Amino acid sequence: MDAPFLDIKGLDKSFGGLRAINNVHIHMAQKEVLGLIGPNGAGKTTLIRLIMGILRPDTGSVRFRGKEVVGRKTWTIVNMGIASTFQNMRPFRRLPIIANVMVSCQCPRAMKRGEWVKKIEAKAMDALEFAGISDMALEDASTLSQGDLKRLEVARAIATEPDLLLLDEPFGGLSPAETDLMAKSIKRLHKGGRFGRLHSEGPAMIIVEHKLQQLMKIVDRIVVLDFGTIIADGPPEEVVKNEKVIEAYLGQGGV
Amino acid sequence: MDLIIFYFRKLFTILKKEVLVLPSRVVVILFFLFVLLLPVLPVIGNDPYMLRIFTLTCIYAIFAASWDLLSGYTGQMNFGHALFFGVGAYSAALLNHHIHIPPWGSIPIGALVAVLAGLIIGIPCLRLKGTYLALTTLAFPIILIGIVFAFPDQLGGELGISGIERIARSKVISYYIIAIIMLGLCTIMWAITDSKLGIILHAIREDEIAVRTAGINTTRYKLLAFSLSGFFAGVAGGLYAHYMRIAGPSTLEVSLSFQVVIWSIFGGIVSIYGPIGAVFVLFPLLELLRFWEQGRTLMFACIIILILLYMPDGLFPWLRDKIEKECPRCKKRNFWRRKTCRICTAELD
């Protein structure tokens, strides 16, 4: 039998006296789309940073396809097939948008998998095309709007052709129309296929989001974090009715 | 014969359609011609003193461009760039003085020793950023000066190592060798920054963590930047040692490290051509100001401050923006008098 796709066991992380992540267990199957929600400061972004190796957990393990991820360098993790976007977008502001994506296209994983792609510019362009900002490929990244920056983040992440995509608030700061577009892109990516020179096998995803209505249309399962602990885990319909979740979001005696 | 004419025609077409359409390309061609024809120019060429100044200018141009490659493009602020220059100079001098390796061997080996130095200081500096990195790198050439003074018998102490072989017998030939090496290396550096590698280096300057999440091994690329920069600066140091026929502690001084920062910022960092142009303006200018010996550094400083006050991005990017404008649609540059873009015919505002 194959090793589990993603297996997070007993993850702990404290910043000084604050326990940001407290004994988190998450088990994920291949091609599953997982929503990660929780009030502000619940540790969602911290969890993503722990998986990506930007932060190092105090204890616990993250296994991706049976291989331990904790303790590896970020770039090794990316080349194992995990990619992520940043919540507060971090584009290379003084580079043109196409060059932003060309950086990810040059990672060893993308170079190896696109063996028939000789021109990384063309591949970067296809990633932009997929994200829907190819018409602005030559502009500097500093001229982009919030929504387009989010799309640039997505383009940069999918250019590494990941098997597991961690999206940190992909709808944050987007207008309703843009949110719809982004949700459609995410669904299309999850279905998999070939987008020009870009190949998607339909990556599994963890999506951190506050906009529940949009999120529920995409995800198969929702995990709710509060103060670093998982308080609910299950299909979207069940989770939104869970009393603990309502309490965490609205406070005691809410509703 | 027909073939020659064919290639001549082709060259002419390229010249007409690719080079003459853009003022900056014309300026680059003129710069190449100026450097190559300098010894036969009427006023400057006949004067051995001027020839010497321009030879040193060429050496420092390599040095300044190599600083831009590391600190400008990759964003690893290096305030101790003289280390590479000094290591290159001392290694070439030692190899030539003790083992009698001729200049064509000692300069590349010296540059490789500078690469080694780049790796040695690069590895402890990998975790540092910004001001911390700048202060740490500042320390390394000072440490090396201490080592030089500690072993006066081997390294010459304060007097340095003298009596090194000349690059060539005649001054003009030395100039030509150094000038051609300068043009070649600077073109290579420009090509590096214009390549895919350059994009990664530039991205590291912008946001290192984002580059890591793009799956790029930043450690490897930062060390690559350190060693590339060290190589070019080491070549400059080796040329300096063989041209001046001495490698002394002055090649490691803090003032030289800061000089290169001043040149680069004056010319415009993150451009490669900026620092080169700045050296060609500022180094002869400092000699030109000799008519008022006591106040020349003061005037020099005033000129730099005035220019940077009005052109905060540096002199050469400012000039380039004046004579060229960017097409809003295809981002290609155009001559500033043009009404429509030469590539996509979009209207220029």
* pLDDT one-digit tens code per residue, B121-140: 888 888 888 889 999 999 99
pLDDT at B108 over 90: yes
B214–A95 C-beta distance less than 8 A: no
Question: From CA B101, how far away is CA B110, in angstroms rounded?
Answer: 11
Phi, psi of B337 (to 5 degrees): -85, -10
Q: Identify the burial level of A211 via C-beta atoms within 10 angstroms of its C-beta, where 0-12 means exposed, 13-18 middle and 19 or more buried.
A: middle
Q: Which residues pair with A49 in a beta bridge?
A: none
Domain ranges of chain A: 6-250
Question: Could you tell me if B88 and B252 are in contact, meaning their C-beta atoms sit under 8 angstroms apart?
Answer: no
Nearest chain A Cα distance for residue B192, angstroms = 15
At B113 the three-state DSSP class reads helix
Average pLDDT of B178-203? 93
**Tokens read off for A202:** 């339909």
Within 8 A by CB and 6+ apart from A37, the residues are A44, A208, A209, A210, A212, A215, A222, A223, A224, A225
For B23, other C-beta atoms within 10 Å of its C-beta total 18
B215–A110 C-beta distance less than 8 A: yes
Question: Could you tell me if B70 and B229 are in contact, meaning their C-beta atoms sit under 8 angstroms apart?
Answer: yes
Does residue B135 belong to the interface with chain A, where contact is any CB pair within 8 Å? no
Residues of A in contact with B73 (CB under 8 A): none
- Choose among B200, B209, B270: nearest Cβ to A103: B200
Instruction: Please give the DSSP secondary-structure letter assigned to residue A143.
Output: G
**Tokens read off for A172:** 């944050």
* Residue reference for tokens 């929503």: A35
Looking at residue A150, its amino acid is K
A54–B209 C-beta distance less than 8 A: yes
Looking at residue A153, its amino acid is E
Q: Over the stretch A43-83, which tens digit does the pLDDT of each residue have?
A: 888 999 999 989 899 998 999 988 898 889 999 999 998 99
Q: Testing the interface with A: which of B73, B194, B199, B344 to mutate, by most A Cβ within 10 A?
A: B199
pLDDT at B193 over 60: yes
At A207 the three-state DSSP class reads strand
**How far is residue B225 CA from its own chain's centroid?**
14
Residues of A in contact with B214 (CB under 8 A): 78, 103-104, 107, 156, 159-160
What CA–CA distances, in Å, run from B40 to B45, B46, B170, B172, B306? 5, 7, 14, 10, 34
Question: From CA A186, how far away is CA B11, in angstroms rounded?
Answer: 50
Within 8 A by CB and 6+ apart from A34, the residues are A26, A28, A204, A205, A206, A207, A219, A220, A221, A222, A223
Does residue A15 belong to the interface with chain B, where contact is any CB pair within 8 Å? no
The ipTM (two decimal places) reads 0.86
- Across the A:B interface, residue pairs with CB atoms under 8 Å apart total 80
- Choose among B206, B207, B216: nearest Cβ to A106: B216
* Residue reference for tokens 């390294």: B155
User: What is the model's pLDDT at position B9?
Assistant: 92
Instruction: Please give the DSSP secondary-structure letter assigned to residue A234.
Output: E
Question: From CA B148, how far away is CA A98, in angstroms rounded?
Answer: 48
Residues of A in contact with B216 (CB under 8 A): 75, 103-104, 106-107
Does residue A177 belong to the interface with chain B, where contact is any CB pair within 8 Å? no
For A218, other C-beta atoms within 10 Å of its C-beta total 20
Report the residue count for chain B.
349
What angle do helix axes B315-323 and B23-37 make, rounded to 10 degrees? 130
Question: From CA B79, how far away is CA B139, in angstroms rounded?
Answer: 9
Q: Over the stretch B42-76, which tens digit does the pLDDT of each residue have?
A: 777 778 888 999 999 999 999 999 999 999 999 88
Question: Could you tell me if A72 and A62 are in contact, meaning their C-beta atoms sit under 8 angstroms apart?
Answer: no
Q: Testing the interface with B: which of A85, A101, A107, A166 to mutate, by most B Cβ within 10 A?
A: A107
pLDDT higher for B192 or A199? B192
B331–A95 C-beta distance less than 8 A: no
- Choose among B199, B212, B330: nearest Cβ to A102: B199
Question: From CA B65, how far away is CA B272, in angstroms rounded?
Answer: 5
Question: From CA B260, how far away is CA B150, in angstroms rounded?
Answer: 27
Mean pLDDT of chain B: 90
Residues of A in contact with B200 (CB under 8 A): 103, 106
Question: From CA B113, how far away is CA B294, in angstroms rounded?
Answer: 39
Closest CA to B35 of B289, B333, B276, B238: B276
Q: Which residues pair with A140 in a beta bridge?
A: A96
Does residue B331 belong to the interface with chain A, where contact is any CB pair within 8 Å? yes
Phi, psi of B193 (to 5 degrees): -70, -20
Nearest chain B Cα distance for residue A134, angstroms = 13
Nearest chain B Cα distance for residue A104, angstroms = 5
Pairing of strands A82-84, A164-168: parallel
The domain defined by A6-250 carries CATH number 3.40.50.300 = yes
Residues of B in contact with A95 (CB under 8 A): 199, 202-203, 206
Nearest chain A Cα distance for residue B318, angstroms = 17
Within 8 A by CB and 6+ apart from B217, the residues are A73, A75
**How far is residue B209 CA from its own chain's centroid?**
28
For A144, other C-beta atoms within 10 Å of its C-beta total 20
Closest CA to B23 of B346, B347, B342: B342
A54–B213 C-beta distance less than 8 A: yes
Phi, psi of B281 (to 5 degrees): -90, -50
Question: From CA A236, how far away is CA A20, in angstroms rounded?
Answer: 24
Closest CA to A81 of A30, A130, A17: A30
**Tokens read off for B230:** 């060290």
Closest CA to B65 of B184, B206, B224: B184
Nearest chain B Cα distance for residue A98, angstroms = 10
Write out residues in chain A with pLDDT < 70, as ranges.
1-2, 113-118, 252-255
User: What is the model's pLDDT at position A116?
Assistant: 52
**What is the torsional sign of CA B302, B303, B306, B311?**
negative
At A22 the three-state DSSP class reads strand
Question: Could you tell me if A154 and A127 are in contact, meaning their C-beta atoms sit under 8 angstroms apart?
Answer: no
Nearest chain B Cα distance for residue A141, angstroms = 11
Give the least confident one: B82-91, B131-140, B286-295.
B286-295
B212–A73 C-beta distance less than 8 A: yes
B209–A120 C-beta distance less than 8 A: no
Count helices and strands (H / E) in chain A: 10, 12
Does residue A196 belong to the interface with chain B, where contact is any CB pair within 8 Å? no
What angle do helix axes A120-131 and A146-158 make, rounded to 10 degrees? 130
Nearest chain A Cα distance for residue B313, angstroms = 14
A103–B199 C-beta distance less than 8 A: yes
Q: Which residue from B minimizes the CA distance to A136?
A: B329
Does residue B344 belong to the interface with chain A, where contact is any CB pair within 8 Å? no
Does residue B200 belong to the interface with chain A, where contact is any CB pair within 8 Å? yes
pLDDT band at B239 (very low <50, low <70, confident <90, very high): very high
Residues of B in contact with A160 (CB under 8 A): 214-215
